[in-house]
Amino acid sequence: MSDNKKPLNFIEKIIEDDLASGRISRLKTRFPPEPNGYLHIGHAKSICLNFGLAKKYKGSCNLRFDDTNPEKEDEEFVESIKQDVQWLGFQWEGDIHFTSDYFDQLYEWAIGLIKEGKAYVCDLSPDEAREYRGSLTEPGKNSPYRNRSVEENLELFEKMRAGEFDEGACSLRVKIDMAHPNMQMRDPIIYRIKKAMHHQTGDKWCIYPSYDYAHGQGDAIEGITHSICTLEFEEHRPLYDWFIQNLPVPSEPHQYEFSRLNVNYTVTSKRKLKQLVDEGVVSGWDDPRMPTISGMRHRGYTPKSIRDFVESTGVTRTDGVVDVSQLEFSVREDLNENAPRAMCVLNPLKVVLTNYPEDKRETMTAPGHPNRDDFAERLLPFSREIYIDRDDFREEANKKYKRLVLGKRVRLRNAYIIEADEAIKDDSGEIIEVRARVIENTVGKNPEDGIKAKGVIHWVCATNHVNCEVRLYDRLFTEEFPDAGGKDFMNSVNPESLKVLTNCKLEMSLSKPNTDIPYQFEREGYFFVDLKDSRPEHLIFNRTIGLRDTWNK
């Protein structure tokens, strides 16, 4: 895709204007995750946008952990987030940053605000504070503690910091305007008491800055020029600007908002994803059914397919929900072009070729990819006994069924045409074997008697193959909007989202499968080695995605 030809999105327009007018000389963005969960497809959008803009305009992008909420944060999440960003193909500039790196500076600036009479320690309980705050239709009321003297505020704030008060006993608030039409401006809290261990700062602090107080200042300290976030922060922008104007910050970042990415048939909220993990609905944050980046990686989605998908959703200020099939389309498109081909029989049924000598062995050849010659040719052992899929045989069928039927012919992909003679059944009537014949001289040719085969099926040699397990995934939720209107998303978890097949037969050339990219198992879909559970002696493949969209009405 040529960057110059695509119309600019609204953020690119702003950046180009800022570069042209000289407001900035170099673009600097940041991706600011809170390390309280694994990243999901929505975060991928923010990553591609922030890092992508930095790349496009030859600027840079920081990775900053917004770690102001110690109770919910964890080092495990920090590591997973770093891995996800790099896997998506991006690199932050220099070291990673933590908002907690700025705790000292933020504390000093808070003291500065107190000294200027712009901040005060407030003893209202959370419930009282809510009452005093007013509503969208009613102005708030000034806190009775609003007019404390500078000296008293300095002393109380120092006591807060020293751990002399209980959690919730008081907070530090900035003095703006309790009647402001924007509720965010009604003397927001900038420090709360939290007696919690912090994963970066240990027990150094028992007061923590609010997100609003910390975020813009972190941007200013890092020299971020464009602080890009999602639309729910639009209302916070005046407060963002207030801090920048009222503190001696080293630079003047601006905030811009875009609409979040929402995808149907899933949930994208770390809290809800955590619930799925905690309640054992899925095997972990990286379960292949999860919309997390690690889940998608586990399943076989490629970084390119995720970047392409995100790109296809555009950057706007209008909220909406993207159809998950748009994501699946990007995955299929990438894999169709780049996945090596192979044959795997998922539900094996043995076929004995009665006219093929027992000790005869042949090797068929097949392209690694139908239209790429940079893929190695595959060698397929062939013998008297083979496996085909149960769905590919019927005793009788109408003309629409173009697979193997008694008395009819079918082509084995890359091998002979065969004709079925007999179905052998067990006592319960289940077909356990098919007897058939090869039609001589039909490898790569039509039969001499002129009776052609109607269809082509895949197969695997019964004496020379690899056993494997295959995990088939379906959407995690049966409802299109699992959490719409406050619905409990746990009620629409799809009970059939995972199906395990333990007796699959894989062609020999995959005895040591590639772990960089999924394979296309011909006629079945795209399958990726399960990098967590697969063992050389017990191969496990995850179905990334089927060949076609089977959900389309």
Q: Which is nearer to Mg ion, 32 or 300 (CB)?
A: 32
Q: With CB under 6 A as the contact rule, which of the stretches 21-29, 42-50, 109-117, 464-472 interacts with ligand ATP?
A: 42-50
Q: Which is nearer to ligand ATP, 29 or 442 (CB)?
A: 29
Q: Which is nearer to ligand ATP, 230 or 283 (CB)?
A: 230
Q: Which is nearer to ligand ATP, 93 or 152 (CB)?
A: 93
CA 274 to chain centre: 14
Full 3-state SS string of 250-276: CCCCEEEEECCCEECCCCCCHHHHHHH
Judged by CB under 6 A, the residue of 9, 19, 34, 72 near ligand ATP is 34
Tell me the two tokens of residue 34.
């809170």
- The reply to whether 140 sits near ligand ATP by the rule CB under 6 A is no
- Within 13 Å and on the Cβ side, how many CA atoms surround 310? 23
Q: Which residue of the set 146, 260, 272, 413 is catalytic? A: 260
- Report long-range pairs for 8-12 (Cβ below 8 Å, ≥24 apart): 9/314, 9/315, 9/316, 10/258, 10/315, 10/316, 10/317, 11/49, 11/53, 11/226, 11/228, 11/256, 11/258, 11/315, 12/53, 12/56, 12/315
Judged by CB under 6 A, the residue of 15, 29, 33, 380 near ligand ATP is 33
Active site annotation includes 471 = no
Q: Which residue of the set 192, 270, 341, 408 is catalytic? A: 270
Q: 239, 185 in Cβ contact below 8 A? A: yes
Judged by CB under 6 A, the residue of 28, 45, 192, 297 near ligand ATP is 45
C-alpha to C-alpha distance for 381 and 363, rounded to whole angstroms = 4
Entry field: residues in the chain:
553
Q: Which is nearer to ligand ATP, 48 or 121 (CB)?
A: 48
Q: 158, 172 in Cβ contact below 8 A? A: no
Sole residue written with tokens 């001696």: 248
How many angstroms separate the first and last alpha carbons of the chain? 31
Helices (H) and strands (E) in the chain, counts: 12, 29
Q: With CB under 6 A as the contact rule, which of the stretches 39-47, 317-325, 379-387, 435-443 interacts with ligand ATP?
A: 39-47
Q: Which is nearer to Mg ion, 68 or 330 (CB)?
A: 68
Least distance CB 197 / Mg ion (angstroms): 21
Query: Which does residue 297 touch among Mg ion, ligand ATP, none (CB within 5 to 8 A, set by kind)?
Result: none
Active site annotation includes 270 = yes
Interface size with ligand ATP, residues (CB under 6 A): 14
- The reply to whether 294 sits near ligand ATP by the rule CB under 6 A is no
C-alpha to C-alpha distance for 432 and 382, rounded to whole angstroms = 20
Q: 339, 519 in Cβ contact below 8 A? A: yes
- The reply to whether 43 sits near ligand ATP by the rule CB under 6 A is yes
Q: With CB under 6 A as the contact rule, which of the stretches 26-34, 162-170, 407-415, 496-504 interacts with ligand ATP?
A: 26-34
Q: Which is nearer to ligand ATP, 32 or 216 (CB)?
A: 32
- Tell me the sheet residues that pair with 433: 350, 424
Active site annotation includes 115 = no
Query: Which does residue 454 touch among ligand ATP, Mg ion, none (CB within 5 to 8 A, set by kind)?
Result: none
- The reply to whether 313 sits near ligand ATP by the rule CB under 6 A is no
C-alpha to C-alpha distance for 204 and 108, rounded to whole angstroms = 15
Least distance CB 313 / ligand ATP (angstroms): 9
Phi, psi (deg, nearest 5) at residue 331: -70, -45
Instruction: Read off the DSSP letter of residue 484.
Output: G
Q: Which is nearer to ligand ATP, 233 or 382 (CB)?
A: 233
Least distance CB 34 / Mg ion (angstroms): 5
Closest to 206 in 3D by CA, of 162, 172, 266? 162
Rg (CA), the chain: 31
Least distance CB 263 / ligand ATP (angstroms): 9
- The reply to whether 300 sits near ligand ATP by the rule CB under 6 A is no
| CB count in 10 Å sphere of residue 397 | 14
Judged by CB under 6 A, the residue of 9, 230, 251, 347 near ligand ATP is 230
- The reply to whether 292 sits near ligand ATP by the rule CB under 6 A is no
Judged by CB under 6 A, the residue of 12, 27, 28, 46 near ligand ATP is 46
- The reply to whether 261 sits near ligand ATP by the rule CB under 6 A is yes
Q: Which is nearer to ligand ATP, 277 or 470 (CB)?
A: 277
Q: Which is nearer to ligand ATP, 239 or 460 (CB)?
A: 239
Identify the helix (H) or strand (E) that includes residue 308: helix 303-312
CA distance readout (Å), 56 to 15, 26, 59, 62, 97 = 11, 12, 8, 15, 22
Least distance CB 495 / ligand ATP (angstroms): 25
Q: Which residue of the set 34, 93, 152, 385 is catalytic? A: 34
- The reply to whether 525 sits near ligand ATP by the rule CB under 6 A is no
Tell me the two tokens of residue 282.
């899925």
- Tell me the sheet residues that pair with 473: 498
Least distance CB 43 / ligand ATP (angstroms): 5
Tell me the two tokens of residue 464.
């020379």
C-alpha to C-alpha distance for 110 and 104, rounded to whole angstroms = 10
C-alpha to C-alpha distance for 208 and 106, rounded to whole angstroms = 10
**32-61 positions binding Mg ion, by CB under 5 A:** 34
Tell me the two tokens of residue 332.
């299929």
Q: With CB under 6 A as the contact rule, which of the stretches 98-106, 265-273, 389-397, 409-417 interacts with ligand ATP?
A: 265-273
- The reply to whether 268 sits near ligand ATP by the rule CB under 6 A is yes
Q: Binding pattern to Mg ion, positions 18-37, x when CB under 5 A?
A: ----------------x---
Residues that bind Mg ion (CB under 5 A): 34
Residues that bind ligand ATP (CB under 6 A): 32-34, 42-43, 45-46, 229-230, 260-261, 268-270
Residues catalogued as catalytic: 34, 260, 270
